[in-house]
Structure 1
């Protein structure tokens, strides 16, 4: 399967991720400076270069963009958007700075506040997963602008014998004791896996892991692509308080606390 078999918006996202990979790795393999932003999070030249090139590739779609390294529009303008891209040019910058390879590129397409398409790419592995509920799930290892793409069979999984709970490598997930106690009472002893960035969602889709509870701050660009992928695989990303799916292009771009799951059965 080739990139040309997808519509122009999807092609733009795939090509953006491939081009951004080159920019990110060019910084990653050399010395670079780390700047601490006003919110305490780190940023490097890779974030800015990746953001710029993704914006350039998505510009022909004429769909507005929300992104981590952009000056985002006020909600009074955004509220009228039927569609928007939600991007994180380097998700897991702390992992990038620590050089542990656990960082990603996130690109999501949101329609009427719902993520209908997501793409998560691992620059180090030259691997991407993309798709959505309507189009299905796909993956590719890419070394050039024309990746060989294959569809993912939702029936395939790499599920382990026990329930695997993902936790962040760089962030404390907060008070989740009650949730974990309930999960353990239903499924038995839990296994824990620490992993950085949205790469956790790839593990959830493949059922290498089954649960990712997040009771700490995240932004829309951290989760939108992962939610689209996980929902396409039959999983969920639900508000921890309301039990409803997360929505996007909100007045406040912070996410509520959430639980992402792709449990057996």
Structure 2
């Protein structure tokens, strides 16, 4: 099976299991870093691992034990997975949570499947083809052939506007300052969205800028980064002003900016 197809299938099955939990009275645990965890995270992770292990490519997942960098630095490829990105949104039951699966090569994302299970919306890409796709499904169990045949290509906005996408859970002083600096020069529209959907909004032309001055991990961004990269959207680490990198010694991302402006 095509490696992207494996990622897509894993995301759909994980999304279906997430929705099974979503419909129940689930409990919320707190991890050591004080972030929330549910049985949906664990079950989705198990499903994704079962699929990705067939590729014999090593895996970095939020819900797996972290592999030492002394071993990871030898990897030229690895999967980077967040089985349930936006657990806070999941707990709030606002639907803005995703399954993130990305394949990274030499520090850069090269393909991804990003699934929004509550809306049955799938984004996917092979970055080398310089195209990304979106499809809204009728059911989670949709054949891959049908998905590939019916997905539509997405493109960013051609007009350089100032629609700034922000997090529903993280809007700090640095982000407000970024917004204020732009609003002094032009009219600004704020678009609120949770999880990695913020990347997708810029990639499909519904927003233009996504500044992130709050902590994220590599698994929060790799899948969305791939979608953006495929359609020519920059994802720039700050203050270094170079592309966000993956499989770093520290899996914590620096601040970054997603932008459709050259």
Alignment TM-score, normalising by the size of structure 2: 0.91
Question: Residue 215 of structure 2 aligns with which residue?
Answer: 217
Corresponding pairs, count: 256
Label 1:203 to 1:50 Cα distance change in 2 as closer, same or farther (>3 A): same
- Measured at CA, do residues 232 and 104 of structure 1 come closer, stay the same or move farther in structure 2, by a change above 3 Å? same
Describe how 1:106-185 pairs up with structure 2 within 5 A: 106-135=100-129, 136-142=131-137, 143=139, 144-146=141-143, 147-149=146-148, 150=150, 152-153=152-153, 156=155, 162-177=161-176, 179-184=178-183
Mapped to 1, the partners of 2:62 and 2:160 lie a distance apart of: 37
Q: SS in structure 1 opposite 2:205?
A: coil
**Equivalent residue, structure 2, for 1:206:** 204
Aligned-residue Cα RMSD (Å) equals: 2.0
Check if 1:29 corresponds to 2:23.
yes
Is the Cα contact below 8 Å between 1:159 and 1:209 reproduced in 2? no
Specify the alignment match of 1:56 in structure 2: 50
Q: CA deviation at 1:227?
A: 0.9
Contact preservation (8 Å) 1:42, 1:93:
yes
The structure 2 residue matched to 1:90, chosen from 84, 95, 99, is: 84
Contact 1:174 1:216 in 2 (8 A): no
The gaps in structure 1 that reach 5 residues or longer are: 1-6
Question: Aligned to 1:22, what secondary structure does the other structure show?
Answer: helix
Aligned to 2:226: 228
Q: How far did residue 175 of structure 1 move? A: 1.1
Alpha-carbon shift at residue 262 of structure 1 (Å): 1.9
Q: 1:159-213: CA deviations, max 9, x gaps?
A: 7895211111112344135533453455x11011211100111111111011110
Question: Counterpart in 1 of 2:7?
Answer: 13
Matched residues in 2 for 1:203 and 1:254: separation?
Answer: 23
- Are the equivalent residues in 2 in contact too, given 1:103–1:196 (CA < 8 A)? yes
Q: Deviations over 1:105-149 (max 9, x none)?
A: 101100001111122110011111110331221222332240433
SS in 2 for 1:71: coil
The CA distance in 2 between the partners of 1:40 and 1:17, in whole Å, is 26
Within 1, Cα distance between the matches of 2:182 and 2:229? 20
Work out whether residues 46 and 90 of structure 1, in 8 Å CA contact, stay in contact via their aligned partners in 2.
yes
Partner of 1:3: none
Judged with a 3 Å threshold, the aligned counterparts in structure 2 of structure 1 residues 99 and 178 are, in CA distance, closer, same or farther, namely: closer
